[in-house]
Structure 1
Amino acid sequence: MSEKLAAVGEITASVAHEINNPVAVIRGNLDLARNELGAAADLVHEEFRLIDDQVYRIGVIVSKLLQFARPEEFSGAADALDPGEVVRDCLVLTRHQLEGAGITPQLALEPTPAVRISRTELQQVIVNLLLNAAHAMPDGGTLTIAVSGAGDTVHLVIQDEGVGMPPEVLARIFDPFYTTKLARGTGLGLSISQQLVSQAGGQISASSEPGKGSRFEISLPAVDPA
Structure 2
Amino acid sequence: MNGSIPANFDFGAPLSATCSDFDVPHAKQLLEALATRSRLADLGERSSALVHELRQPLFSIAMANENMRLMLAHPELSRSQLERAIERIAEQVQRAQTIIDRTLAYASGRSRDESTADLGIAARQAIEFMEPVLEAAEIAVQEHGTDMVATVGMCQIEAEQVFVNILRNAAESIELRQQEGWQGAPRILVDIKVEDGTVRCEVSDNGAGLTDATAALLFEPFFTTKPQTGTGLGLRICREALERAGGTVRLVAGEGEGARVELELPLHFSGGSGR
TM-score normalised by the chain length of structure 2? 0.62
Q: Is the 8 A contact 1:153 1:219 kept in 2?
A: yes
Q: 1:96 aligns with which of 132, 139, 143?
A: 132
Q: Which amino acid counterpart does residue 231 of structure 2 have in structure 1?
A: T
Please give the residue correspondences for 1:55-134 in structure 2 after superposition, counting only pairs within 5 Å: 55-71=82-98, 78-108=114-144, 109-134=146-171
Cα distance in 1 for residues equivalent to 2:164 and 2:204: 14
Question: Which piece of structure 1 moves more, 102-111 or 199-208?
Answer: 102-111
The letter for the 1-side match of 2:189 is T
Unaligned 5+ runs, structure 2? 1-44, 103-111, 179-184
- Contact 1:203 1:218 (8 Å CA) reproduced: yes
Equivalent position SS for 1:133: helix
What is the CA–CA distance in structure 2 between the aligned matches of 1:98 and 1:89, rounded to whole Å? 13
Q: Which aligned pairs between 1:117-156 and structure 2 lie closer than 5 A?
A: 117-138=154-175, 139=178, 141-156=186-201
Aligned to 1:220: 265
- Please give the per-residue CA displacement for 1:40-85, whole angstroms capped at 9, x wherever unaligned: xxxx9xx5xx523312421442243134212279997522222111
Asked if the contact 1:112–1:148 (Cα under 8 Å) also holds between the matched residues in 2, the reply is no
RMSD value over aligned CA atoms?
3.3
Relative to its length, the structure with more helix (as a share) is 1
* Aligned mates of 2:86, 2:209 — CA distance in 1: 36
- Bigger Cα Rg: 2
Query: Number of aligned pairs?
Result: 199
Runs of 4+ in 1 over 6 A off after TM superposition: 72-76
Higher strand share: 1
* Counterpart contact for 1:208–1:214, Cα < 8 Å: yes
Shift in Å at residue 107 of structure 1? Answer: 1.0
Partners of 1:69 and 1:124 lie apart in 2 by 11
